[in-house]
């Protein structure tokens, strides 16, 4: 993906918020005076292509967004929401974000079954890119939008960033001169234009700020080129195309593996 190598640097350079996403989220869990301990993600450093994250618990086989409504359970509840609420309690990933990752998993099972992408891999990416839509103190609303737009700094050639002129006239980020990564999965406008998908299937243009659209687009991008993410070669090729950095791939692997293992049997 054009410029994806810059995205970890972008988050690091934004300030305390970005540094918190990439460092605090990876260090050993603290134990606050009240409330549950932080979910621990053990940093792992597998060699590219050598392994894939552990198998994740299955998202319930409900209909994904954009298809006929999911059948509720005996209590009238949406099975995707029930699943997300349960995994959120274990992993401390917001339930609303998990619903987006889970829906993308379900869609891709039908759309590109040979890809075998997991919601846990999407969660591993979302964790680094925006702390699951919470970058800069944002929160995800029920509509899937963050409480304030998530926009990276200008890629203007300063602070170690490559200079990337605005590719969409600033439509997605408001800067007519320089490009910015946008949304909870941090896409450049040019990549979003090529791979963007609308999760709801309502005919509206996909929105990179919407966690459902962003997660489905990330899955669409990762699965492009006939990749099989159930293999070490395929998983690493996909993630390192998203961001061509071994360190980035190892951080995604660590998060995805922790989320997957925590979800098994849940």
Interatomic CA distance for residues 25 and 127, integer angstroms: 8
Q: Where are the domains of the chain?
A: 79-145+197-263
The pLDDT score that the predictor gives to residue 160 is 82
C-alpha dihedral over 206, 212, 214, 218, to 10 degrees?
-120
Question: What are 264's two structure tokens?
Answer: 């098994």
Note the pLDDT of residue 13.
36
Q: Looking at residue 67, what is its pLDDT?
A: 46
Burial code of 156-182, b = ≥16 C-beta within 10 A, e = fewer? beeeebeebebbbeeebbebeebbbbb
pLDDT < 70 stretches in the chain: 1-36, 62-76, 265-266
Handedness of CA 30, 31, 34, 35 (dihedral sign): positive
CA atoms of 200 and 204, how far apart (whole Å)? 9
The candidate with the shortest Cα–Cα distance to 188, out of 204, 165, 205, 213, is: 165
pLDDT in tens, 173-206: 999 999 999 999 999 999 999 999 999 999 999 9
User: Tens digits of per-residue pLDDT, 37-58?
Assistant: 789 999 999 999 999 999 999 9
């Amino acid at each position: 993906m054009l410029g994806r190598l810059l995205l970890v640097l972008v988050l690091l350079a934004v300030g305390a918020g970005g540094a918190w996403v990439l460092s605090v989220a990876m260090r050993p869990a603290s134990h606050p005076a009240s409330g549950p301990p932080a979910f621990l993600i053990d940093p792992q450093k597998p060699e590219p292509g050598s392994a894939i994250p552990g198998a994740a618990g299955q998202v319930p086989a409900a209909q994904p967004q954009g298809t006929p409504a999911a059948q509720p359970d005996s209590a009238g509840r949406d099975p995707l929401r029930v699943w997300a609420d349960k995994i959120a309690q274990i992993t401390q990933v917001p339930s609303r974000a998990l619903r987006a990752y889970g829906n993308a998993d379900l869609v891709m099972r039908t759309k590109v079954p040979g890809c075998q992408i997991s919601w846990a891999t999407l969660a591993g990416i979302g964790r680094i890119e925006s702390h699951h839509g919470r970058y800069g103190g944002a929160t995800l609303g029920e509509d899937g939008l963050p409480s304030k737009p998530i926009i990276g700094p200008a890629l203007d050639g300063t602070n170690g960033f490559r200079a990337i002129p605005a590719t969409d006239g600033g439509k997605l980020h408001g800067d007519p001169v320089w490009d910015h990564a946008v949304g909870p999965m941090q896409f450049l406008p040019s990549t979003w234009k090529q791979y963007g998908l609308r999760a709801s299937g309502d005919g509206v243009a996909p929105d990179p700020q919407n966690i459902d659209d962003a997660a489905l687009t990330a899955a669409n991008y990762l699965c492009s080129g006939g990749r099989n993410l159930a293999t070490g070669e395929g998983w690493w090729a996909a993630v390192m195309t998203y961001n061509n950095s071994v360190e980035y791939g190892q951080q995604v692997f660590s998060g995805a593996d922790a989320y997957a293992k925590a979800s098994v049997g849940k």
